[in-house]
């Protein structure tokens, strides 16, 4: 495997720099390209070994596309994705091809949102969970069967169920099966794309707890993509917020929720209704609509909806910078604004 | 004006079944709740609890082959000149002129999916104008005025030009506002909103909830808010009914539900959700198992197999009934059964 | 009931299939499909009908009575005979009366009357003309018949004879063989082309998809009957039956694959974005594995259902072509060829039994349609 020149500091498992993904807009009989959707528009962040980074934002903000670039489910247009493999080599996932890409797949796995479409209804649990083992030539048939039994037990399902088909299981149980499949190859990084949003409220907690337990047990690192801020706050060590293809803020969870520095983050946090009628807090109601990623506004993409916007915000695009230790913000007025969070400091 | 201590809508022991070839799905199994004028009733529950079917039963817009097989839906109609009439919606023919004048007139309904609630082949304006003229004797131009006013009232910018848009040209949030605008033109006394914000992002949700509160203050209509999101319930509701597998298991004022819940299901549900405004990052308490399918309801109390306080021989032997444990706080659980 | 959709699936199956829980949970898609199909009454009746028809296809010669090509001028246009039953002690015996040709004194037309003085006994497993079972084993046994020597007066014509005095029953058996296999063969060929081209189109997309789609559109925009007429007319007159048979098969398949190709392409497009396909790719599965292990099995049952629904269409096509004299030609025997004789009102009025092949066409078409519907309903136990 080729080792990239770029360095990755000791505690980091993954570092994404200037990641871009553009989707062409095609029209007409001959499918001519008439424009581009800037789904991911220059994103920088890193994930430390063993932590959970929450990636939040509203629909269409590019969080899922970012995750899929890291998984190479889509090929990034530009940018670098440095990753430390289990052999302690640093590779750029963005440029990997063929056998090297296949090799890295055992290090990075995914948990899907929809527990129904993410399992092949025509395959038994044994086939589904055993598939990664088969693909990476791990062990004999009996070894694989034993490993599947182990994995099922690990996610809280009975190993006797391995010859059943997915239709025998409920949403929550299917999500466990998906987790078992993701863990089959002992990955280092697990990308979870809205893993609980399709589940019933009473089942969400089961799956979240399982993910926390497995992280402790196996030393996993999570990239947790979600729109539900309460869930993200519960599970993440650090949180990154995206808006129209760009990262607007990234900070340790408690800091982000108590002292947000970006007006968008503050608005987002205040919009979450708390399940307690006694804490009806002041809500920041954003005006207007999310910008169109095919035709974003000038300067800061958030300025048309921002109540703190100045002339500078309309003209200059802010860059993500570290304003205090580990707190990154992309706002011209980050240092002067005092915004309210949802947590007491 | 109606007297405000009388419910405007009272659902008593509603039973709605879906007789399918493979067996009967008991979607609503004897649910009862009251809607007070000008107040918001929150109905909360997970998938399959029958909350949407209950709402559709009130509107008499059940999907086939759903049918109301028991219970009453008493609706107090304002007949003008301070005279009132109580009608039973459950006993009406679902195509009768009477239910048609109630549906979309006095009781308005907002769907979960804003994409499908408008016809894609007509402009928003045409659909709203049609809705106005269906219930009011008014000229086209007059109706257009009302429509523009209604779109403006729900905070849609450039309302006049939006009339010529098709629903797919609007974003989800705007579409849901337009839907509400359309339902409000008939001055309903009750607005039933079935998961109105589920398909929306959190900032759009905040906008919409704000709008609904404002409209309620202005028009004095009652709202029935159906959702699985306890945050939305806490924000909006005055009174809450918690449903599980077709039954109302607890019914109480909103503060009681969140600060003094009585039913084990309500308690467990509240403990299982992460809260954004609390500093603790404790492990979540989870409810074991999954919601059973209405085909194979457990014997006795529907929540029994998942309940921490399950009493063998009691909870699996008979079905608890909803009874008052404190003033205006009703629970359906044997833990509160004084009778034995 | 949108909110119910997440939990609706599992226990439903139990109700639908009435099998034990454990059996269902570890049942494969084909088993689930079969359990569902079994509950579809019309489809089951159709399956039995088709099984009988294909039994005829395999054992046509065994079921035939008389050499279907032997014409007998004296026996032209004989009406079907009635079968009679008698008891020889306790053994039941079937027989038909011999027939006599007489002139109607008023019209001077030749009519056949039953001659109740001669009883022709029907024998089971009688000896008749020589043929080969499945084209290999030589035999001269037939399900029933009269033992040789054959006198023209002492033959069995259950369904009468045609204008050349050939036994309609025997010809019908052999016609069934050709008509029923032509549908199957054409569909197999269309299936192959459709899955291949539709698959390429759907999986790779881009330019190749564009080209294939335009070809399909052009092919589908041509009116079929005139086109077939043109192509069939170019089949040389001196080709052997077997060559014409295959030519017709290919001509029909050439236009029918487009429908399947469209369906396969659609399935590929929608499956390409399914999470479980992405999941397989993320696990490092190769393209071939993704296509053949994950994608194709997901829609194969649908494709089989669609193919079944295509067969009746092809049977009708063959029948129409042959009826118009553009498909198979005598001495080949197919339902269409047999119906050619019934092209004028006079024939239909005077010898209505020559229309019996039409009944077979109707039954076969209906049976395929019912089975196809049943398969289609059963094909998606998950949706």
Distance CA B103, CA C48 (A): 51
C174 closest CA partner among C245, C254, C78? C245
Smallest CA–CA distance, residue B67 to chain A, in Å, is 26
Distance CA B217, CA B211 (A): 10
Nearest CA in chain C to A72: C282
Q: Which value does ipTM take for this structure? A: 0.84
What are residue B108's DSSP bridge partners?
B191
Domain ranges of chain C: 82-156, 170-379
Q: What is the pLDDT of residues C134-144, one digit of tens each?
A: 777 777 777 77
Q: Is there a contact between B206 and A274 if contact means CB atoms under 8 Å apart?
A: no
Nearest CA in chain C to A101: C284
Q: Does the pLDDT of residue C67 top 50, yes or no?
A: yes
A157 closest CA partner among A206, A118, A191, A197? A206
Domain membership of residue A64 (yes or no) is no
How high is the pLDDT of residue C152? 56
Interface test with A, best of C284, C285, C296 (most A CBs within 10 A): C284
Could you tell me which residue, A3 or A252, shows the higher pLDDT?
Answer: A252
Distance CA B119, CA A313 (A): 40
Q: Is there a contact between A168 and C28 if contact means CB atoms under 8 Å apart?
A: no
Strand locations in B169-309, DSSP E? 190-194, 222-227, 239-244, 247-253
Interface of A with B in 182-201 (CB under 8 A): 200-201
Chain B residues closer than 8 Å to A269 by CB = 276
Q: Contact, C252 vs C299, CB < 8 A?
A: no
Q: Does A231 touch chain B (CB under 8 A)?
A: yes
Q: What is the pLDDT of residues C87-107, one digit of tens each?
A: 777 777 777 776 666 676 776
Nearest CB to C3; choose among B48, B63, B293? B48
Mean pLDDT over each residue of chain C, to the nearest integer: 77
Taking the CA of residue B110 as centre, how many other CA atoms within 13 Å lie in the half-sphere pointing to its CB? Answer: 30
Q: What pLDDT band is residue B1 in, cutting at 50, 70 and 90?
A: very low
Q: What is the pLDDT of residues A284-299, one digit of tens each?
A: 878 777 788 788 888 8
Chain B residues closer than 8 Å to C12 by CB = 22, 293, 295
Nearest CA in chain C to A126: C26
Q: What is the pLDDT of residues C144-191, one digit of tens each?
A: 777 654 555 566 777 777 777 778 888 888 888 888 888 888 888 888
Q: Is there a contact between A344 and B235 if contact means CB atoms under 8 Å apart?
A: no
Domain membership of residue A258 (yes or no) is yes
Q: Cis peptide leading into B298, omega within 30 of 0?
A: no
Nearest CA in chain A to C284: A102
How high is the pLDDT of residue C267? 86
Smallest CA–CA distance, residue C304 to chain A, in Å, is 16
Please, what sign has the CA dihedral across residues A224, A228, A229, A233?
A: negative
Cα angle: B18, vertex B19, B22; to 5 degrees: 115
Q: What are phi and psi of B319, to 5 degrees?
A: -95, 125
Q: Does the pLDDT of residue A69 top 90, yes or no?
A: yes
How high is the pLDDT of residue A136? 87
Bridging pattern class, strands A108-111 and A90-92: unpaired
Distance CA B172, CA B308 (A): 40
How high is the pLDDT of residue A189? 94
Q: What is the pLDDT of residues B151-163, one digit of tens each?
A: 877 777 778 888 8
Domain membership of residue A141 (yes or no) is no
Q: Does the pLDDT of residue B125 top 50, yes or no?
A: yes
Nearest CB to B293; choose among C1, C3, C7? C7
Q: What pLDDT band is residue B240 in, cutting at 50, 70 and 90?
A: very high
Q: What is the pLDDT of residues B276-332, one digit of tens each?
A: 877 766 788 888 877 887 777 788 888 888 888 888 888 888 888 888 888 889 998
**Looking only at Cα atoms, what is the longest distance across chain B?**
68
- Chain B neighbors (3+ CB pairs < 8 Å): A, C
% of chain C surpassing 90 pLDDT? 1
What are residue A55's DSSP bridge partners?
A225, A240
How many domains does the structure of chain A reveal? Answer: 1
Cα angle: B22, vertex B28, B32; to 5 degrees: 165
Contacts of C367 (CB under 8 A, 6+ apart): C45, C46, C47, C49, C50, C53
Nearest CA in chain B to C13: B22
Could you tell me which residue, A166 or A238, shows the higher pLDDT?
Answer: A238
Q: Does the pLDDT of residue B250 top 80, yes or no?
A: yes
> Would you give the DSSP letter of residue B321?
-
Q: Please list the alpha-helical segments (H only) found in chain C.
A: 9-17, 21-25, 29-38, 41-58, 60-63, 168-204, 206-221, 224-233, 241-272, 275-282, 287-289, 296-323, 335-340, 345-350, 356-379
Interface of A with C in 134-173 (CB under 8 A): 135-136, 161, 163-165, 167-171
Number of other residues whose CB lies within 10 A of the CB of residue B312: 8
Q: Identify the domain containing residue A261 by its residue range.
A: 237-273+280-345
Q: What is the pLDDT of residues B164-197, one digit of tens each?
A: 888 777 777 788 888 888 887 778 889 999 888 8
What are residue A238's DSSP bridge partners?
A53, A252
Q: What is the pLDDT of residues A257-276, one digit of tens each?
A: 999 999 999 998 888 888 88
Distances (CA, A) of B27 to A208, B24, B51, C377: 29, 9, 9, 25
Could you tell me which residue, B328 or C85, shows the higher pLDDT?
Answer: B328
- Chain C neighbors (3+ CB pairs < 8 Å): A, B
Distance CA B231, CA B275 (A): 9
Q: Which two tokens stand for residue A209?
A: 């707890």
Distances (CA, A) of B240 to A8, B274, B325, B332: 53, 20, 15, 14
Q: Cis peptide leading into C149, omega within 30 of 0?
A: yes
Q: How many residues belong to chain A? A: 345
Distance CA A264, CA C288 (A): 45
Chain A residues closer than 8 Å to C297 by CB = 122
Which residue, chain included where needed, has tokens 């890295």?
Answer: A104
C197 closest CA partner among C260, C291, C248? C260
Nearest CB to B255; choose among A230, A234, A277? A277
Nearest CB to A274; choose among B47, B272, B275? B275
Q: What pLDDT band is residue C383 in, cutting at 50, 70 and 90?
A: very low
> Would you give the DSSP letter of residue B32?
E
Smallest CA–CA distance, residue C370 to chain A, in Å, is 26
Q: Is there a contact between C382 and A121 if contact means CB atoms under 8 Å apart?
A: yes
Smallest CA–CA distance, residue A32 to chain C, in Å, is 12
B26 closest CA partner among B317, B291, B295? B295
Q: Is there a contact between A279 and B277 if contact means CB atoms under 8 Å apart?
A: yes
Bridging pattern class, strands B239-244 and B247-253: antiparallel
Domain ranges of chain B: 268-336
How high is the pLDDT of residue A65? 92
Q: Which of B37-41, B332-336, C161-165, C333-337 has the highest mean pLDDT?
A: B37-41
How high is the pLDDT of residue C11? 38
DSSP 3-state assignment of B277? coil
Q: Is there a contact between C12 and B22 if contact means CB atoms under 8 Å apart?
A: yes
Helix/strand/coil (H, E, C) string of chain A? CCCCCCCCCCCEEEEEEEEEEEEEEEECCCCEEEEEEEEEEEEEEEEECCCEEEEECCCCCCHHHHHHHHHCCCCCCEEEEEEECCCCCEEEHHHCCHHHHHHHCCCEEEECCCCCCCCCCCCCHHHHHHHHHHHCCCCCHHHHHHHHHHHHHHCCCCHHHHHCCHHHCCHHHHHHHHHHHHHCCCCCEEEEECCCCCCCHHHHHHHHHHHHHHHHHHCCEEEEEECCHHHHHHHCCEEEEEECCEEEEEEEHHHHHHCCCCHHHHHHHHHCCCCCCCCCCCCCCCCCCCCCCCCCCCCCCCHHHCCCCCHHHHHCCCCCEEEECCEEECCCCCCCCCCCCCCCC
A128 closest CA partner among A98, A95, A100, A155? A155
Chain A residues closer than 8 Å to C10 by CB = 167-170
Q: What's the CATH class of domain C170-379?
A: mainly alpha
How high is the pLDDT of residue A197? 87
């Amino acid at each position: 495997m080729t080792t990239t020149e770029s360095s990755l500091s000791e505690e980091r498992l993954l570092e994404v720099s200037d990641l871009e993904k553009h989707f062409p807009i095609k029209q007409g009989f001959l499918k001519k390209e008439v424009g581009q959707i800037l789904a991911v528009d220059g994103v920088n962040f890193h994930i430390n070994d063993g932590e959970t980074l929450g990636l939040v934002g509203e629909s269409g903000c590019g969080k899922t596309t970012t995750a899929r670039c890291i998984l190479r489910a889509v090929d990034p247009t530009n940018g670098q994705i440095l990753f430390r493999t289990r052999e302690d080599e640093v590779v750029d996932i963005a440029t990997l091809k063929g056998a090297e890409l296949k090799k890295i797949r055992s290090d990075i796995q995914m948990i899907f949102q929809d527990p129904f479409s993410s399992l092949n209804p025509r395959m038994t649990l044994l086939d589904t969970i055993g598939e990664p083992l088969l693909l990476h030539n791990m062990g004999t048939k009996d070894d694989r069967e034993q490993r599947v039994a182990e994995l099922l037990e690990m996610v809280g399902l009975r190993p006797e169920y391995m010859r059943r088909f997915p239709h025998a299981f409920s949403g929550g149980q299917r999500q466990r099966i998906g987790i078992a499949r993701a863990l089959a190859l002992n990955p280092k990084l697990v990308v979870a794309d809205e893993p609980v949003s399709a589940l019933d409220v009473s089942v969400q907690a089961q799956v979240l707890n399982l993910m926390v337990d497995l992280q402790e047990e196996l030393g996993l690192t999570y990239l947790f993509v979600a729109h539900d801020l309460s869930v993200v706050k519960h599970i993440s060590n650090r949180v990154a917020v995206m808006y129209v293809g760009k990262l607007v803020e990234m900070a340790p969870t408690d800091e982000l929720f108590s002292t947000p520095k970006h007006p968008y983050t503050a608005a987002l946090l205040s919009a979450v209704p708390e399940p307690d009628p006694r804490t009806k807090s002041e809500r920041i109601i954003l005006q207007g609509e999310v910008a169109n990623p095919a035709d974003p506004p000038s300067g800061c993409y958030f300025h048309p909806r921002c109540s703190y916007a100045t002339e500078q915000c309309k003209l200059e695009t802010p860059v993500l910078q570290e304003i205090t230790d580990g707190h990154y913000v992309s706002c011209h007025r980050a240092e002067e604004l005092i915004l309210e969070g949802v947590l007491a400091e | 004006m109606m007297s405000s201590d009388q419910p405007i809508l009272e659902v008593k022991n509603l039973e709605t079944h879906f007789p399918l070839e493979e067996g009967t799905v008991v979607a609503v199994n004897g649910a009862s709740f009251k809607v007070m004028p000008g107040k918001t009733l929150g109905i909360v529950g997970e998938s399959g609890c029958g909350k949407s079917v209950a709402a559709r039963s009130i509107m008499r817009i059940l999907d086939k082959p759903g049918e109301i097989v028991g219970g009453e839906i008493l609706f107090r109609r304002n007949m003008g000149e301070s005279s009132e009439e109580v009608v039973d919606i459950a006993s009406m023919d679902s195509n009768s002129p009477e239910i048609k004048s109630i549906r979309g007139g006095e009781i308005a309904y907002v769907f979960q999916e804003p994409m499908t609630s408008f016809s894609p082949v007509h402009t928003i304006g045409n659909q709203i104008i049609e809705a106005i003229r269906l219930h009011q004797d008014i000229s086209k131009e007059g109706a257009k005025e009302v429509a523009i006013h209604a779109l403006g009232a729900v905070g849609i910018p450039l309302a006049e030009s939006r009339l010529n848009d098709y629903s797919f040209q609007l974003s989800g949030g705007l579409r849901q506002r337009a839907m509400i605008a359309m339902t409000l033109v008939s001055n309903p006394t009750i607005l039933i909103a079935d998961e109105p914000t589920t398909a929306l992002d959190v900032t759009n949700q905040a906008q919409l909830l704000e709008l609904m509160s404002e409209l309620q203050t202005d028009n004095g209509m009652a709202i029935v808010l159906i959702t699985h999101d306890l945050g939305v319930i806490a924000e909006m509701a005055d009174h809450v009914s918690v449903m599980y597998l077709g039954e109302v298991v607890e019914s109480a004022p909103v503060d009681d539900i969140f600060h003094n819940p009585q039913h084990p299901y309500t308690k467990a549900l509240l403990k299982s959700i992460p809260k954004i405004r609390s500093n603790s990052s404790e492990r979540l308490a989870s409810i074991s198992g999954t919601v059973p399918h209405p085909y194979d309801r457990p014997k006795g109390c529907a929540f029994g197999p998942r309940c921490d306080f399950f009493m063998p021989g009691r909870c699996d032997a008979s079905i608890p009934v909803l009874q008052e444990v404190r003033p205006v706080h009703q629970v359906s659980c044997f833990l509160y059964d004084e009778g034995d | 009931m949108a909110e119910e959709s997440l939990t609706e699936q599992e226990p439903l199956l139990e109700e639908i299939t009435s099998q034990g829980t454990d059996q269902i949970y570890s049942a494969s898609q084909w088993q689930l499909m079969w359990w569902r199909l079994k509950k579809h009454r019309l489809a089951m009746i159709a399956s039995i009908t088709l099984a009988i028809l294909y039994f005829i296809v395999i054992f046509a010669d065994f079921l035939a009575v008389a050499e279907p090509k032997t014409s007998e001028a004296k026996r032209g246009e004989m009406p079907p005979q009635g079968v009679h039953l008698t008891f020889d002690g306790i053994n039941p015996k079937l027989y038909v009366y011999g027939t006599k040709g007489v002139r109607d004194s008023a019209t001077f037309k030749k009519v056949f009357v039953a001659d109740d003085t001669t009883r022709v006994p029907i024998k089971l497993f009688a000896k008749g003309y020589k043929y080969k079972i499945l084209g290999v084993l030589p035999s001269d046994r037939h399900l029933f018949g009269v033992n040789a020597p054959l006198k023209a007066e002492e033959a069995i014509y259950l369904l009468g004879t045609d204008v050349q005095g050939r036994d309609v029953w025997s010809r019908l058996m052999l016609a069934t063989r050709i008509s029923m296999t032509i549908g199957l063969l054409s569909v197999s060929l269309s299936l192959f082309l459709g899955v291949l081209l539709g698959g390429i189109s759907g999986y790779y997309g881009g330019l190749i998809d564009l080209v294939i789609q335009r070809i399909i559109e052009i092919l589908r925009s041509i009116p079929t009957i005139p086109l077939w007429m043109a192509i069939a007319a170019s089949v040389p007159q001196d080709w052997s039956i077997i060559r014409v048979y295959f030519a017709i098969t290919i001509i029909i398949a050439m236009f029918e694959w487009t429908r399947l190709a469209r369906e396969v392409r659609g399935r590929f497009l929608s499956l390409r974005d399914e999470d479980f396909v992405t999941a397989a790719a993320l696990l490092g599965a190769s393209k071939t594995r993704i296509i053949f292990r994950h994608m194709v099995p997901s829609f194969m049952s649908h494709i089989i259902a669609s193919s079944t629904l295509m067969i009746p269409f092809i049977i009708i096509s063959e029948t129409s072509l042959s009826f118009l004299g553009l498909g198979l030609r005598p001495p080949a025997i197919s339902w269409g060829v047999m119906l050619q004789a019934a092209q004028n009102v006079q024939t239909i009025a005077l010898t209505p039994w020559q229309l019996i092949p039409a009944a077979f066409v109707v039954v076969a078409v209906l049976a395929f349609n019912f089975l196809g519907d049943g398969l289609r309903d059963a094909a998606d136990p998950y949706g």
